[in-house]
Amino acid sequence: MKEQRLSLDQLSTDLLQPASLEVAPGEIICLSGASGSGKTRLLRAIADLEPHGGTARLGHRAQGEMRGHAWRRQVMLVPAESAWWFDTVGEHLQQPQPEALAALGFSDEAGEWSVDRLSSGEKQRLALVRAMSFKPAALLLDEPTANLDPDTTRATENWLVECIHKRRLPALWVAHDQEQIERVADRHFHIADGRLEER
Amino acid sequence: MEVIDLSWWQLALAAGLVVVLATCIYLARLGLAGSLLVAATRTAVQLALVGLVLEALFSVGSLLWVALMGLGMLLLAGREVMARQQRRLRGGWSFTIGTAAMFVSAFSVTVLTLVAVIGPTPWYEPQYAIPLLGMMLGNTMTGVALGLDRLTEGLWRQRQLVENRLMLGETWSSACGSIRREAMRSGLMPIINSMAAAGIVSLPGMMTGQILAGTAPALAVKYQILIMFTIAAGTGFGTFVAVSVASRRLFDHRERLRLDRLTSSTA
């Protein structure tokens, strides 16, 4: 898969004034901001899940040049709260992901686990594995470690950073924790008063 | 065989039963007595009026008046479908989709049955056309209303799930596939159940009526089978059209879930 940059072109939501931004392949940009400042809305707009102004581009192709589902297949949003609809974890994955599961501390049988018995932390990590199994071209991560304890947080961070670098994915990462931002971010933007500003 | 005439005081006896029931409900504080009495009154008034209308219609019997009557019934059914939605589509879409779905299914199946199956002369003979259309509309209405209600309620409750499926790159129709199937099922279940139970558990109302009116049971049975099949077809196609169009309307051209196109009725 060829590497592509993700760019925002005067993208705006109800909460955010038009903002432009370029994320290079393999680059991680962290987004922070008080709750309610519109971080999630921004990610949803980039994934084209809700009406918004301006556009986002993957390489040279704008959102509108692809069908909605095709865009989202490439520019994949992983929400903070994931939903599961089949009976077992494995049915949600595009193909078996033994390495990813192992890296996040899951045993080989995790694919056969019933989704009813997943804890919120397990759901969050498995949602990341699920998203990766679709081989996206860009990643939008909404607080990917919000429900995790410190050790698991570090393991998950490391795995995500490694994936993003290895696959050369442009990534936007919403984070609260300043230390996490320092660990993973190449650049850091803050949303306040409807503006996106680099820190 | 002559039908035994019913006089008004005999009906009053039956009404007395409803009043007794309402009193019991009131004393037990179930909070339904009011709606029971209103519904009973509506039955009496509405049916009495329809009786007058039908008598007039039968004596005129022109296509224009039959068509007007059909149109009136259709619009009332459309209003009823809309009124039964917990969450309905904004901007008149609920009414339009419901009415259009019933028009496509109930009307065409009724006309087809009249022209091709029963074949009265003229084909719009009100004695056949109006009761047939009424039964078709009544059942299709239930199916369409149940289907639409299930669809909007399902999408509302499971919006997180549907959006998560969209995030993984599924098309809108695959993301809401299970909810649409569920909506279709609930629209079709009543007629499937009543076909399965017909004659064993319940004697269908129309057949009972015909037998009471002196029709030979064998003929009444044939009519009942005809009605059951046409109702199944009408309900099925009506629910199918309504659920398909409404689910399409709840996603926009970018295949986003647009629950802002729903408004919840507090009434």
For residue B267, name the pLDDT band (cuts at 50, 70, 90).
Answer: very low
> For A149, left (φ over 0), alpha (ψ -120 to 50), or beta?
beta
- Residues in Cβ contact with B248 at an 8 Å cutoff, skipping those fewer than 6 apart: B172
Q: How far apart are CA A68 and CA B170, in angstroms?
A: 9
| B66 against B31, higher pLDDT | B66
Q: Is A76 on the interface with B (CB under 8 A)?
A: yes
Containing structural domain, residue A93: 6-198
Token pair for A116: 């009813």
Token pair for A15: 């909460």
Would you give the DSSP letter of residue B202?
A: B
Report CB contact under 8 Å: A69, B160: no
Report CB contact under 8 Å: A63, B171: no
What value does the mean pLDDT take over residues B41-58? 92
Q: Is A52 on the interface with B (CB under 8 A)?
A: no
Residue B102 near residue B198 (C-beta atoms within 8 A): no
Per residue in B122-136, pLDDT (tens digit) is 999 999 999 999 999
Report CB contact under 8 Å: B255, A131: no
Residue B44 near residue B12 (C-beta atoms within 8 A): no
Q: How far apart are CA B152 and CA B183, in angstroms?
A: 9
Residue A95 near residue A157 (C-beta atoms within 8 A): no
> What is the tally of structural domains in chain A?
1
CA atoms within 13 A on the CB side of A59: 11
CA atoms within 13 A on the CB side of A187: 14
Chain B residues whose CB is inside 8 A of the A85 CB are 161, 165, 178
Residue A160 resides in a domain = yes
Nearest to A11 by CA among A27, A23, A26: A23
Sequential DSSP letters for A64-80: GGS-HHHHHHHEEEE-S
- Looking only at the bridges linking them, the beta strands covering A28-33 and A75-78 are unpaired
- Residues in Cβ contact with B13 at an 8 Å cutoff, skipping those fewer than 6 apart: none
In tens digits, chain A (199 residues) has pLDDT values of 678 999 999 999 999 999 999 999 999 999 999 999 999 999 999 999 999 999 999 999 999 999 999 999 999 999 999 999 999 999 999 999 999 999 999 998 999 999 999 999 999 999 999 999 999 999 999 999 998 999 999 999 999 999 999 999 999 999 999 999 999 999 999 999 999 999 8
Nearest to B170 by CA among A168, A198, A67, A63: A67
Distances (CA, A) of A84 to A81, A92, A141, A147: 10, 8, 17, 17
Nearest to A64 by CA among A28, A27, A11: A11
Nearest to A71 by CA among A41, A47, A88: A47
Strand partners, A172: A29, A140
Token pair for B210: 């015909």
Nearest to B206 by CA among B155, B134, B99: B134
Q: How far apart are CA A89 and CA B218, in angstroms?
A: 57
Tell which of A58, A66, A72 to mutate to test the B interface (max B CBs under 10 Å).
A72
Amino acid at site B16: G
Mean pLDDT of chain B: 92
Angle at Cα A13 formed by Cα A59 and Cα A146, nearest 5°?
80
What value does the mean pLDDT take over residues B111-122? 91
Residue A190 near residue A176 (C-beta atoms within 8 A): no
Residue A1 resides in a domain = no
**pLDDT of B266 over the 70 cut:** no
The CATH number of the domain where A94 resides is what? 3.40.50.300
Chain B residues whose CB is inside 8 A of the A68 CB are 166, 172, 253-256
Question: How large is the angle between the packed helices B93-102 and B63-83, nearest 10 degrees?
Answer: 130
Q: How far apart are CA A30 and CA A173, in angstroms?
A: 5
Binding-face residues of A in 77-96 toward B, CB within 8 A: 77-79, 81-83, 85
Chain B residues whose CB is inside 8 A of the A63 CB are 254
Amino acid at site A97: Q
What value does the mean pLDDT take over residues B201-208? 84
